[in-house]
Amino acid sequence: MPEPRTVRPRFCSQCGAAVVVADASFCKECGAPLPDTVWLSPNLAWRPRSALLLSVIPGLGHWYKGARMRGVAWFFTVPFFYSFAFPLGLLMHMICAGNAAFGGALSEDALTARDGRRANRLTAGARASR
């Protein structure tokens, strides 16, 4: 059984202070804005970069992740589209590789936190324009 990856500590880019709160938006020492949260989920049993590189052969990245049937489907679908229309096959190949690399790897917390901050800014801007 693979060991779960450890979460890397975050540090402020301005003063170098350790950021203790996971969802912090500003450094508590100097007040500098912190970058958004981590985009990739830290507890993956596979590596997104490896899945992307293996997807040079369509479906192999999915096979590596353990989605065997999805890998077989991509293996037959992408060459079919290449033979039918090259631009469409290339597009399908890029979708296959992106799905193998980032499907299930993106942290749900990062996406919802980002959308929540955007919604808060939009509503604050709407209130200020009234």
DSSP state of 19: E
> Does 43 map to a domain?
no
Domain identity same for 17 and 52? no
Q: How far is Cα 64 from Cα 27, in angstroms, rounded to an integer? A: 39
- Judged on CB neighbours under 10 Å (0-12, 13-18, 19+), 64 is middle
Q: How far is Cα 36 from Cα 130, in angstroms, rounded to an integer? A: 29
pLDDT of residue 46: 83
Q: Which domain holds residue 95?
A: 48-102
Give yes or no for residue 122 having a pLDDT over 50. no
Our count of domains for the chain comes to 2
Q: Model confidence over 99-111: pLDDT tens digits?
A: 998 888 776 655 5
Provide the β-strand partners of residue 40: 106
114, two tokens? 């980002």
Q: Model confidence over 81-96: pLDDT tens digits?
A: 999 899 999 999 999 9
Q: Which of 100, 109, 92 is nearest to 43 (CA)?
A: 109
Domain identity same for 54 and 30? no
> Does 42 map to a domain?
no
Domain identity same for 52 and 16? no
Domain identity same for 13 and 56? no
